[in-house]
Structure 1
Amino acid sequence: MTQLTELDYKTRLPDTPVKLCLSLFTGALTPHSLWQSAPFRRKFLLRALIMPVSTFKVLNMITQHPAYPELLQAQPRLPCRLHRPYLSNQLTRRECTDAIIFHYKKITALLDETAFIKHLSGEGIRLCSFSGKDGGDYYINFISTRKLDREGEASLILKRADGQMLAEITFTLCEKEQQAVIITGGLQGPNNPDSQQIVQAATKNLYGIFPKKLVFEALLVIARLFNVSRILAVSNKAHVYSSLRYKNRQKHMHADYDSFWEMVGGVPTDRAMFSLPLATTRKGFEEIASKKRAEYRRRYELLDKLTAQIETGFRLKVAMSF
C-alpha cells in the first residue's frame, strides 16, 4: 500500500475517476488508515456501483483539483461522502453532489493556493485572535477537518489559547438559483464533562457573548466576504445524526439547533431548515440600562475587532480575482 504523502501527484496519483476508484478499492492508495480496512474498501466499491453518477462526479472533482493530494489527505472520506447521509437528511443525493462540487470550486477560486492548503491543514487559517476580560487569549480558525465531515466541508472553530474548543460551526457553500448560499450542518460546543462550566467561564470573559454566538458572528463575516445571498441551517429534525443510519450517534448532538437559530433571528422554512439573517441587530445605548452600557460597549468592540481581523485576513489570503 502506498501512503499519499509519499506520492508525487503529478506522475503517480490516479489521474481519472475510474483509476482513483480502483486504487482506493484495491488498497493501492490509502490516504488514511480507514482505507487500510478491506471491509471499508468493499463497501466503498459496492456503494459506488449503486450510485455511480454522484460518485463519479465527486471523484472527478478530486482528480481535477489543483490541490488533489492535500485535499484527499485532509478529507479521506470525500470519495465516499455521498454514500452516507451528508449535511442534511432533507437533501437529495443530487443536491449533496452539487453542493460538494460547488463548495470546492468556490473556495478554490476565493483562496490562493497557499491559503487553500493551509485551511486543509490540522491548524487551519487563523482568522482572528483577541483577549477576554481576564486577559486570556482566544482565537477562531477557518478549517476543513475530517472529524466534522458529515456536517459540512468547512468549519469555524473558537478555542482558548490552551486549545480547549469552545464552539464550532460547520457549513458547505452551495448554489441555489445561481446565487451562493451557505448551508450550516453543524453547531457544537465542548464535549467535556465540565462543558457547562467551560462555556459559562468563556461567556463571562467574552463580555457576555456565548461562544456559539461568536462563531455565528464570524460566519456572517465570511458570508459577506464570500458574497453569499442566503444562509440556511439545519433544524434538529434535519441534522444528519437524526437520520436512521445514525440513530446510535444521536448522543453526539449536544446542541439544540432550533432554539439557537431562533435566538439569532432564524425563521423556519420548508424542508426542516431555518433561514438565518445575514446581519445581526445591535441595541442602541439608549436602550441599555446605564449600569450595563460599559459591558455592551466592550462586547461591541470585541465584535468589531473580530470583523476587522477576519476581513483583513481574508483580503490578504484570497486570490487576486476576488
Structure 2
Amino acid sequence: MSLIQDAFSTYKVTCRNKPKSIAKYILRGVIHRKSLKLLNDNFKCGERKVVFRNQPEFALKAMRPYLRAGLSRMMAVKAVVNHHEWLDSHINLTARQMIYQHGLTLHSFDIGEETFMIKFLFLDSYRREGELTLALCDNTGNKRYVITFTVHEGSAYIGGVQGSVDNDNFSRRFTKTVYGIRPKAFVVEALRIVLNYFNINNLYAVKNSAHVYTDTRYKKKLNFNYDQLWREQRGVEFNDWYYHLPLISERKDIELIKRPKRKMYRERYTWLDKLDHDLAEELAKISIC
C-alpha cells in the first residue's frame, strides 16, 4: 500500500483537520521511511493487522516520539516490534485478540462493597507511552489508574502512569480499605506480579525529565510526579531516562514496625500474597507454556 493510501486510511474515521493531518503523515513518512517500512513489514499483514483497529494512528509510532523523550524513531519501532514478538510468544491468540479489541480482564476482586478489575488494554490514548496498559478499573469499567509499558529484549519499560479525576474520593477510599496501599502504588505492584510471572529480567521506569510528553515535539507539562513514585518504590536512577525498579517490592520487618501499625502491615502482606497467587492462576490460563 502506498504512503498516500496509508495516510488516507489512517484518518478516514475521525480527524479534526483531515487534509492537514494527511499532509503531515505523508511528509513524516518520507522523512522516516526506513522506520515506517520496518513497522509496516511487521504489522500490515496477518494477525497483527488488528492493532490498527484500536489505534488507527499506530503507524505514527515510526514518525513521532514514543516511550521516552529522545528515543530515535528506528529504536522506537524496534522496541514496538520486539514487544509484540514477546506478546506473541507468551500470550495465547484468543487472549491477544481480546487485548487488542476490547481489553482482557485478568482478575476481579472485592474491596469492601466495591468490585475492581485488573485489565490488559491496548488503547489509542496511551499509544505514545507504551504498547500494553495494565488498568485498575471499577465495576462500571472506569479506568481508575493505569500503567503503560513496553517489553523489549527481556526488560520492561514503564512509559506512563495516569489516574482518573478523583471526584468521589476514590484514592482515599481505596487506600484506607486496602491496608494503606495507594492506587498508584497498587498498579506498580500488580505490574510487578505480572512481570515476575513471565520472568522479565529488569523493570525500568521513565523519569519526569524523559517522559515522552517532555519531548520537543510536545513540550507538555506533567501533572504526575514520576520520580517521587519511583523513589517510593525503592527505585534508583539508572541513566538519564530511567529509574531501575526492583521486581520484588520491599517488605518491612513486622517486628520493627510500631505496634499500632503491625496489624495493618500483616493484613497488607497477606492480601498481596493472595493477589499474587490469584493473578498467577489467571495468567496461567492465557499464557503459552
- In the superposition, the TM-score normalised over structure 2's length comes to 0.93
Q: Is the 8 A contact 1:127 1:309 kept in 2?
A: no
5 Å-filtered alignment, 1:84-95, equals 84-95=64-75
User: Which residues in structure 2 correspond to 1:158-173 (within 5 Å)?
Assistant: 158-173=136-151
Looking at structure 2, the residues matched to 244 and 316 of structure 1 have their Cα atoms a distance apart, in angstroms, of 43
2:249 to 280, 298, 308: 280
User: 1:290 deviation in Å?
Assistant: 3.1
Counterpart of 1:246 (choices 197, 214, 218) is: 218
Measured in 2, the distance between the counterparts of 1:155 and 1:120 equals 11
Partner amino acid for 1:183?
A: Y
Query: What is residue 223 of structure 1 aligned with on the other side?
Result: 195
Deviations 1:108-163 (CA, angstroms, capped at 9, x unpaired): 121111100111123x111122222x332212111111111111111111122233
SS at match of 2:209: coil
Query: CA shift at 1:165, angstroms?
Result: 2.9
How many residue pairs get matched? 289
SS at match of 1:139: strand
The match for 2:41 among 60, 70, 77 is 60
Is 1:97 aligned to 2:71, yes or no? no
> Which residue identity is paired with 2:104?
I
The correspondence of residues 100-111 of structure 1 with structure 2, limited to 5 A, is 100-111=80-91
Q: Deviations over 1:238-277 (max 9, x none)?
A: 0011112212x32xx3210000000001101212311111
Please identify, of 29-38 and 49-58, the stretch whose mean Cα deviation from structure 2 is larger: 29-38
Q: 1:200 to 1:270 in 2, by over 3 A?
A: same
Question: Which residue type is aligned with residue 107 of structure 2?
Answer: C
1:50 & 1:295 partners in 2: Cα distance?
56
**Native 8 Å contact 1:67 1:117 kept in 2:** no
Match of 2:26 among 45, 54, 58: 45
Query: 2:155, 2:203 within 8 Å by CA — same for their partners in 1?
Result: yes
Distance 2:16 2:3 in 1: 12
Q: Verify: 1:130 aligned to 2:104, yes or no.
A: no
Which residue identity lines up with residue 228 of structure 1 in the other structure?
Answer: I
What is the rounded CA distance, in whole Å, between the counterparts of 2:177 and 2:2 in structure 1?
49
For the 8 Å contact 1:158–1:165, the answer to whether it is kept is yes
Q: How far apart are 1:28 and its partner, in Å?
A: 5.2
Alpha-carbon distance change, 309 to 32 in structure 1, aligned in 2, over 3 angstroms? farther
Identity across matched positions, percent: 29
- 1:159-308 correspondence runs (5 A): 159-175=137-153, 180-192=154-166, 194=167, 197-247=169-219, 249-250=220-221, 253-308=222-277
Q: 1:139 is matched with which residue: 111, 117, 126?
A: 117
| Native 8 Å contact 2:34 2:74 kept in 1 | no
How far has the Cα of 1:34 moved from its partner?
A: 3.7
198 and 28 in structure 1: CA distance in 2 versus 1, 3 angstrom threshold: closer
Deviation at 1:168, TM superposition (A): 0.9
- Give the conservation status (yes or no) of the 8 Å contact 2:11–2:18: no
Aligned to 2:61: 81
Aligned to 1:5: none
* Structure 1 residue 228: Cα displacement: 1.3
Unaligned runs of 5+ in 2: none
The SS at the match of 1:309 is helix
Which region of structure 1 is more displaced relative to structure 2, 163-172 or 231-240? 163-172
**Partner amino acid, structure 2, of 1:58:** L
What amino acid is the match of 1:162?
Answer: T
Q: Is the 8 A contact 2:11 2:22 kept in 1?
A: no
Please say if residues 174 and 183 of structure 1, whose CA atoms lie closer than 8 Å, have aligned partners that are also in contact. Answer: yes
Q: What's the C-alpha RMSD, in Å, of the aligned pairs? A: 2.0
Conserved 8 A contact 1:170-1:184: yes
Shift of 1:291: 2.8
Q: CA deviation at 1:29?
A: 6.6
CA distance in 1, matches of 2:283, 2:52: 24
